[in-house]
Structure 1
Amino acid sequence: MNYVLASLLFLFAANISAAPDAIFLFRHSEKLAGKNPPLSEAGRQRAERLFNLFGEVKPSTIYSTDYNRTIETAAPLAEYFGLSVNTYKPGDLAQFTKTVLAQSGIVVIVGHSNTTPELAQLIAQVPVEKMPETEFDRYFILQKAEQGYQLRSLKMNF
Structure 2
Amino acid sequence: MMKLWLIALSLLILAMPVMAKDYSSEEIFSIYLVRHAEKRSDPIDPGNPGLSECGQLRAKRLAGILADANIEIVYSTDYSRTLATARPSAETFSLGIELYDPQKLSEFARLLTSKHQDALVVGHSNTTGILAGLLTGGEQEEFDEDIYDRLYQVVISGKRSRMILLHQAFHCESRVASH
CA 104–31 in structure 1, closer or farther in 2 if over 3 Å, else same: same
1:32 is aligned, of 23, 31, 40, to: 40
CA 132–81 in structure 1, closer or farther in 2 if over 3 Å, else same: same
Cα contact 1:25–1:111 (8 A) shared by 2: yes
Report what 2:31 is aligned to: 23
Give 5+ residue unaligned stretches, structure 1. 1-16
Report what 1:3 is aligned to: none
Report what 2:168 is aligned to: 156
Q: Distance in 1 between matches of 2:123 and 2:28?
A: 18
Report what 1:10 is aligned to: none
2:129 is aligned, of 95, 117, 134, to: 117
Cα contact 2:34–2:152 (8 A) shared by 1: yes
Cα contact 1:141–1:153 (8 A) shared by 2: yes
Give the aligned residue type for 2:29. D
Residues paired across the two proteins, number: 142
1:136 Cα deviation from its structure 2 partner: 0.5
1:55 Cα deviation from its structure 2 partner: 4.7
Report what 1:12 is aligned to: none
CA 86–20 in structure 1, closer or farther in 2 if over 3 Å, else same: farther
Please list the CA deviations of residues 66-97 of structure 1 after superposition, one character each: whole Å capped at 9, or x if unmatched.
00000000001101110000001101101111
Cα contact 1:25–1:141 (8 A) shared by 2: yes
Q: Percent identity among equivalent residues?
A: 36
Give the aligned residue type for 1:134. D
Cα contact 1:19–1:102 (8 A) shared by 2: no
Aligned counterparts, 1:6-155, within 5 A: 21-33=29-41, 34-145=46-157, 147-155=159-167
1:155 Cα deviation from its structure 2 partner: 0.6
1:20 Cα deviation from its structure 2 partner: 6.4
Q: Distance in 2 between matches of 1:32 and 1:84?
A: 24
Q: Distance in 1 between matches of 2:97 and 2:62?
A: 15
Instruction: State the Cα RMSD in Å.
Output: 1.7
Q: Secondary structure at the match of 2:115?
A: coil
Give 5+ residue unaligned stretches, structure 2. 1-24, 171-179
Cα contact 2:76–2:82 (8 A) shared by 1: yes
Q: Secondary structure at the match of 1:149?
A: strand
1:112 Cα deviation from its structure 2 partner: 0.1
Give the aligned residue type for 2:40. L
